[in-house]
Structure 1
Amino acid sequence: MMQEGHLKTLASIYGIATEYRNIRGERIQVPQKTLVALLRAMGVEDFSPEGLHEAIALARAKKSTFDFVIRVLRKRTERLRVPPSFVGGEARISNERGEVVFRSRVTSPVLSVLLPPECPWGYYNLTIASSNGELSSLLILSPVKAYLPPERIWGIHGALFALATERNQGIGDLRDLRDLQDLVVRAGGRFLGLLPLHLMPKDGPQGTSPYSASSRRLFDPIYLPLDEVLSLFPELSLSIPPDPNPSENLINYELIWREKDRFLRKVFQHFFEKRTETFAALWREFQNFLDREKDRVIWASLYQAIASEAGPDWRKWPVPFRERNEKALRDFFQAREQDVLYFAFLEWLMDRFLERITEKHRILCFDIPVGCAPSGIESWLCRERLVFNFTVGAPPDDFSPEGQNWGFHPFSPWKIRENHYADFIALLRDNMRFARFVRLDHIMGLKRLFWIPEGGKPSEGTYVQYPFRELLAILTLESTRHEVILLGEDLGTVPRFLRSALRRSSILSTRVFYFEREGSSPRHPQEYPPKSYATLNTHDMPPLLAFLEGKDVLLRKDLGIFTPEQAAVLLEDRKHFLEECLKKLQEWGFLQEDNSTPQALLFALCRFLAATPSRVVSVSLDDLLESTTQVNLPGTVEEYPNWRYRLPVRWEKLRERLTHLATIFSPKGGRTEYVQNL
C-alpha cells in the first residue's frame, strides 16, 4: 500500500506542491493520482513503500549533486562549497571566450573565489580536477538589478496583426509597424508594446494564439510588407496581391498566408536563380545572416520544409525525422536545399526589416510567451526537456471558474538546469535584439507553473517549482547586457514574495486599472509602486468602451461560461465600481463633473495614469481608436474568434489622440500638474 507521507515527501523534494491556496485563500489538496503522475514524469517508477523510501534517498542525493551544477554570483568575491571528495584538486574558472581568469588549489570544502575586477557580468565555467575525476559548474555572475533608466516612459500597446490599413493584405505588417512607431516617437512616446510576433502555425483559418508559437525564437513572415520586399528586387515584375477579403472583420490567417506565400516564393525563386549575377551583394548579406544565425534558422527552416511534405505536426512524422536523425536530415537538406533556404530567406527578410525599423528608435516592447505549441519547431528541438504528459494552465478562479488549460507542455525544471539554461538564454537574446523592452508573460512561471495531467481538468493539477533564483539571475544579466527594460506580467494569484523579488530586481510589476481596487473603489494613483508598468487593460480584457457596458460579462454569460446569476452579480459589481470611478476621478481632479462621455473618461483615466509614480505607462491602441471588441477571451478556443479581430486604423485620428496624450504624459503638461493637485 502506498504511504501518503512518503509520497508527499518525495513530491516536495521534486518541487511538486501537495497542496496550494486558491485565489480566495482556500487550501486545495492535490489528488494523489496527480502526485503519482507527476513523479512518474520525474522518473519515479516504484511506488511501493520500499520503492518510495529508495526514491527519496536517490532524489536527495541527486538534488545535492545538482546544487553544484549552477551557481549564482552577485559579486566577484565568493565562497563556494565543494564536495569533500574534490578537496585537493585544482580549480580553474574560464570566461565565455575560454580564457582562464582564476586558478586555485582546493584545500578545504569551501573554495574562495576571487575574480579579477575586469571580469564583466557574464557566464563562467568552474572546473575542479582531482584524482576522483572532474567536476564542472556554470557560474552566473549577475547584477542584482535589471537595466532600468531613470526617466519615466509613456506609450501605447496593441496587436500588430489587428491593424487594418489601406495598403496591407488583410493583416498588419512591418510597414504599418514602422508608421505606427513614427507617430508615437513624433508625439514624444518611447514605448510601443506588441503582442508576440513569433512564428505561428497557420494550418487553419482561425490561425492560433500568438502565445502558442511554433517557435519563440523566430519572427512570423506573415508580417512581411510585400511592397517593401518587392522594392529589394526592382527589376522583378510582380503584382502585389490585394487584401483577400477586405470587407471581412476577422483575419483568415490561412488565406492571407497562402497569398503571401505564393508571392514570396516567386520572389525567392528569382533571387535564388540570379544570386551570383544581379543579386551578388544581397546574396552575400543573406549568407552572412545564415553564418551568424545558423543554429537558430537552419533547424527551423529544415522543420518547415519537412512539414511542407510530412505535415505540420512533427509528432506524426516518420521516425527518422521525428527523432532528428542526423543522416536523414542531411539527406533531406541535400535533396531539398532550395526549399529549406526559402524559409531561411523569409527569416532573413524579417530580421532585415526589424533591424531597419529599430536602428534609429528603440521603443518596441516584445512579448515572450511562457510556452510553445506542442506540434511546433521549438517543441521538436527541445523535446528532451519537455514533459509531454502534462500541460500548463491555471487553477479555477473568479476570472475562469473552470480554470485554464493553455495547451502547451512544461519544460522539466531538472532538465533545463542540466542543460545550463541554454534554451532560456537563447530565447532572451533572440527577443532582445530589436527590443527596448521585454514583457514576460506569466512571470510567475520563473518560480512555479501549474501542471495539469494530459486530458485532465485544471482542478486536478498542481504547482511545480522552478529554480527561480537562477532564472532571475539570467534575466537581470541579459537585461543589463542588452540594455532592455523588463516588464513582468504578475496578474492573478501571485505569491507576495515574488513581487518583492521582482521589485528588488528592478523588473516592473504590471498594474492594471481594472484590477487595482479596494472593494468597489479604484486604488489611489499614488499607491501604485514606482517600479511598475501601469495600464488600463490588457489583451485578455475588454477595451474601455466594452468594459463600461459590461460586454465582457454578457459575452461570457451568452457562451455559458457564467451562469445568469453569476453574471448578474458581476454586472452589479461593475456598476458600483464605475460609479466609484466617476466619483473618485472627479474628486481627484481628473474629470469634470459635467463631462463623463467615454472620450472624456478615457483621457481622465490617462491623467490618472500620469499621476502614478509608475516608471512606464501605456494606453491601448484599441482604446485610442474606440474599439469595443476584445482581442482574446480567456477560457475559449472555438467559441470566440480570439486573435482575429481587425482594428480599422485612421491615422489622422490616431495622430490627434497621441498629440493629446503627449500633453497629459509630458512632465510639464501632465503628471506634475496632477500630482500637485493630489
Structure 2
Amino acid sequence: MTPLHSLAIEAGLQIDWEDAAGGPQHVADPALVAVLAALGLPADNAGVIEESRRLLAEDRAAGCSFVSADVAAAILLPAGCLDAGNAELVAEDGSRRSVTLTPVDGGLRMPPEATPGYYQLAQGARAIRLAIAPRRCFGIADAAGAARLWGTAVQIPGLRDATPRAFGDFGTLADGARRFAAAGADAVAISPVHALFPADASRYSPYAPSSRLFLNILYGDPALAGPQVDEAPSGELIDWSTAIPARLRVLRAAFEGRDASVREAVADYARAGGDELLRHARFDALHAHFFQATGATGWQGWPAEFHDPAGPAVARFAADHAEEVDFYLFCQWLAKRSLDAAQRSATDGGMALGLIADLAVGMDGGGSHAWSRRDDLLTGLSLGAPPDLLGPEGQSWGITGFSPRALQRTGFEPYIATLRAALDHAGGIRIDHALGLRRLWVVPEGASARDGAYLTMPLDDMLRILAIESHRARAVVIGEDLGTVPEGFRPKMDERGMLGMRVLPFERDQDGFIPPDRWSPEAAAMTGTHDLATVAGWWTGRDIDWNWDLGRTRAGSVEAEERATRAEERTLLWKAFTDAEITDAPEPSANDPTAAVDAALAFIAGTPCELAILPIEDLIGAVEQPNLPGTIDEHPNWRRRMPAPTSELLDRPEVARRVARINSMRNG
C-alpha cells in the first residue's frame, strides 16, 4: 500500500467503494490528494504525507475526550486515556459516585451504567465525556401504542389559509396542522425551517441554510407580535424577489411597534440564547450590510477584519448597528414563538406526533455557522452524491457539514446542539440524507462531483447521541435511506429504532412493485418525496416532459423508449393495486391520473408500516412536484403554492373521500 493510500485510509477516506448498481469503484490518486488537502492533510509528496500522519496521530490521542456506550452494557475506554483504578463519574444533575476501571485488551473497562444521559468520567486533571444511550430511539409505539399513524408532508411556503399572503409561514402552518388534526392525521412533516440569508432574496432553498441552529425568520407570524400581514398574495408561483423584501418590511413594522411586554420577552429570549444567538444576529446584520454595499454573498467576501466573530471590528459594528442586531434577535424570537404555536395547534388538535422536523444534511460555507464556528466544518469541501440512477453525473450540493475530527475533538457538542434545535418544536425528525451518518461524499470545491470520495463518519457515536436526544424530546426519528446505501446501514437503523423511508416508486423487485403486506413495519411509507414526481405527475409522464424539455436526459436516450417504459411501469403498478385488492377497475389512461392517485394513497395506507406520510400534493392530486433535483432556475423549485387554503382543500369531495379511506385503513 502506498503512503498516500495509507494516509487516506487513516483519515477515514474510502479508496474503494461500490456504486448503486453494485459495481466496484476506485478513487484516483489526484482526487485523494485534493480531498486530503481540504481536510488539512497535505499529501503532495512523501515528506508532507508523513507530517499529515503525525497530525492524525495527535488527533487520535485527543480522541480520549469522548466515548459513547449503551445502557446496561460494559463501557470500553481507549488505552492511555485514564489509568486503571478508581475514577469519579459525574452525572448531569451534579451527582457523583466512584467507579472502578479495570484493564482489558486494548484499554479499560468501566461497569455498565443504567441511566441514559451525558456524564463526565474524571480522574485527577483528566476527564472523558460519556454518552450513555437507550438501546433504541423513541418510537411510534412509545407515542401511540400499537396504532398505525398517518400524516401529510407539506412545503411551508406553499400552504395557504384565509389570510392572503405572499407565501405560507408558521401561522399558515398552525392553521394547516389544526385542519389535518381534525381530519384524523397524527403528523405533519414539514420542509426545513433553518435560518437562511434574509437579506438575499435569491436564496430560498431550505436545504442550503446559513445555520441549522436557528430559524428562518421569514416564517415568523407577524400577527403574534401585533400587526396583520399586509402583502400582495401570490398566484400559482411565489415571486421570492418581491415576497422576501415585502415580508421583511412587515417584520420591521412589528419590531418598531413592539410593546414593553414584547421587549421584555425578547430580552429574556436573548439572555437564554447566549453568545451563540447573539453571534447569529450579528451575522445577519453584517450580511445585510455587506450584501447591500458590495454584493458579498458570504462572510468570505467581507473585509478581513470582520472574519473573526470575536474581533474588535465585529464588536464595533454591533455597537454602531445595535438596532439592526436587535431586529434580528426579535425576528428569531418571533419565529420560535410562531413555530411553537404551530406545534401546539397540532398536538392540541389531537395529533400523536404533531410536526416532524426536517434536518438538512449540511449548511452553506458562507453562512452563520461557518463564520462563527468554522472549525466544526469541512472547509473547502462540498457534500454531494456519487453518480447514481438519480444523478448520472453525480451531485455536488455546494454545502458543507461537520468534520468527524472536529466532532471527536469537541465531544460532539455541535451535533448535539443541532439535534436539539431541530427537536425543540417537533414530535419527530426526518434526517435528510441519513446515509451521511455513516459516510459523506465529499467533493473539493470547484471539482467535478465524480472526483469526490467517501469520508467515514462516526456512525455509532452519532446514533447513540440521536437515541438520547430522541427520548429527551419524545420524538420519533426517520432516516432518509435512499440512494447508494452502504452495506449494513439499514440493519443499524433498525437496531436503533430509526424508521427508514419506503417510497412507492422504489419499492420493487424482479416481479414488479412489492405488495403492501411485505413492506417493513418499522418504516415510514410514502407515495413520494419533494424530490420525486407526484403520483399524478408520474402517471401522466410530467417528469419525463420536464427532463426532455430541459435536456436532462442520459446520452443515447430516446424519448419514445422512455415513454414506452413508463407505460409498462404503469401497468405493473396498476397490477400491484389490483393484486392488493385496492381496486378492481381496469387500468386508466395516462391522461387521467385520478384513479391512480386514489389507489396509490390507499396502497400506502394499507402497508403495515408504523407511519404513512402522504404528501399534500398527492392528497389533492397535483401534477407538479415541489423540487426538481439538479436544477436551480430551470424549474420553479420551492415556489409552488397550493391552489386553495388547507381547509378548502380538505373539503373537496375527492380529497375528503381519500382521507376517509386512509383513516379507515390505518385505524382498521
**Which secondary structure does the structure 2 equivalent of 1:552 belong to?**
helix
Under a length normalisation based on structure 2, what TM-score does the superposition of the two structures give? Answer: 0.91
* Equivalent position of 2:33 in the other structure: 36
* Equivalent position of 1:297 in the other structure: 277
1:39-438 to 2 correspondences below 5 Å = 39-45=36-42, 47-49=44-46, 51-52=48-49, 55-56=52-53, 59=56, 61-62=57-58, 64-76=60-72, 78-81=74-77, 83=79, 86-87=82-83, 91-104=87-100, 111-114=108-111, 120-129=115-124, 134-150=125-141, 151-165=147-161, 167-202=163-198, 206-230=202-226, 240-243=229-232, 246-247=234-235, 249-271=236-258, 279-311=259-291, 312-359=297-344, 361=347, 362-438=353-429
Answer yes or no: is the 8 Å Cα contact 2:35–2:453 preserved in 1: no
Change (3 A) 1:155 1:240: closer
Shift in Å at residue 143 of structure 1? 0.8
| CA root-mean-square deviation | 2.5
**Which secondary structure does the structure 2 equivalent of 1:407 belong to?**
coil
* Equivalent position of 2:595 in the other structure: 600
Change (3 A) 1:87 1:160: closer
Shift in Å at residue 660 of structure 1? 3.1
Under a length normalisation based on structure 1, what TM-score does the superposition of the two structures give? Answer: 0.89
**Which secondary structure does the structure 2 equivalent of 1:477 belong to?**
helix
* Equivalent position of 1:454 in the other structure: 445
**Which secondary structure does the structure 2 equivalent of 1:632 belong to?**
coil
* Equivalent position of 1:513 in the other structure: 504
1:551 to 517, 542, 554: 542
Shift in Å at residue 40 of structure 1? 2.2
**Which secondary structure does the structure 1 equivalent of 2:361 belong to?**
coil
Shift in Å at residue 135 of structure 1? 3.0
Shift in Å at residue 581 of structure 1? 1.3
* Equivalent position of 2:563 in the other structure: 571
Separation in structure 2 between the aligned mates of residue 439 and residue 84 of structure 1, nearest angstrom:
38
Separation in structure 2 between the aligned mates of residue 587 and residue 303 of structure 1, nearest angstrom:
57
Answer yes or no: is the 8 Å Cα contact 1:160–1:195 preserved in 2: yes
Answer yes or no: is the 8 Å Cα contact 2:201–2:240 preserved in 1: yes
Answer yes or no: is the 8 Å Cα contact 1:396–1:404 preserved in 2: yes
Percent identity, aligned pairs only, is: 26
Tell me which moved more, 209-218 or 590-599: 590-599
**Which secondary structure does the structure 1 equivalent of 2:13 belong to?**
coil
Shift in Å at residue 466 of structure 1? 0.5
Separation in structure 1 between the aligned mates of residue 362 and residue 42 of structure 2, nearest angstrom:
27
Separation in structure 1 between the aligned mates of residue 467 and residue 483 of structure 2, nearest angstrom:
23
Separation in structure 1 between the aligned mates of residue 304 and residue 194 of structure 2, nearest angstrom:
27
Change (3 A) 1:28 1:298: same
* Equivalent position of 1:274 in the other structure: none
Answer yes or no: is the 8 Å Cα contact 2:619–2:658 preserved in 1: no
Runs of 5+ consecutive residues of structure 2 not aligned to the other structure: 142-146, 292-296, 348-352
Separation in structure 2 between the aligned mates of residue 629 and residue 577 of structure 1, nearest angstrom:
19
Answer yes or no: is the 8 Å Cα contact 1:20–1:462 preserved in 2: no
Separation in structure 2 between the aligned mates of residue 548 and residue 480 of structure 1, nearest angstrom:
40
Write out per-residue CA displacement over residues 168-227 of structure 1, whole angstroms, 9 at most, x where no aligned residue. 321012222122111111111101011112222245554331000112122222223344
Shift in Å at residue 331 of structure 1? 2.7
Answer yes or no: is the 8 Å Cα contact 2:221–2:335 preserved in 1: no
Separation in structure 1 between the aligned mates of residue 300 and residue 629 of structure 2, nearest angstrom:
27
Answer yes or no: is the 8 Å Cα contact 2:67–2:77 preserved in 1: no
Shift in Å at residue 610 of structure 1? 2.1
1:473 to 454, 464, 468: 464
**Which secondary structure does the structure 1 equivalent of 2:230 belong to?**
coil
Shift in Å at residue 64 of structure 1? 4.6
* Equivalent position of 2:622 in the other structure: 627
Write out per-residue CA displacement over residues 576-620 of structure 1, whole angstroms, 9 at most, x where no aligned residue. 111011122123210131574533322222221122111110211
The amino acid of 1:580's aligned partner reads L
**Which secondary structure does the structure 2 equivalent of 1:591 belong to?**
coil
Change (3 A) 1:388 1:63: closer
The answer on 1:585 being equivalent to 2:580 is no
Shift in Å at residue 326 of structure 1? 3.7
Separation in structure 2 between the aligned mates of residue 383 and residue 401 of structure 1, nearest angstrom:
32
The answer on 1:660 being equivalent to 2:657 is yes
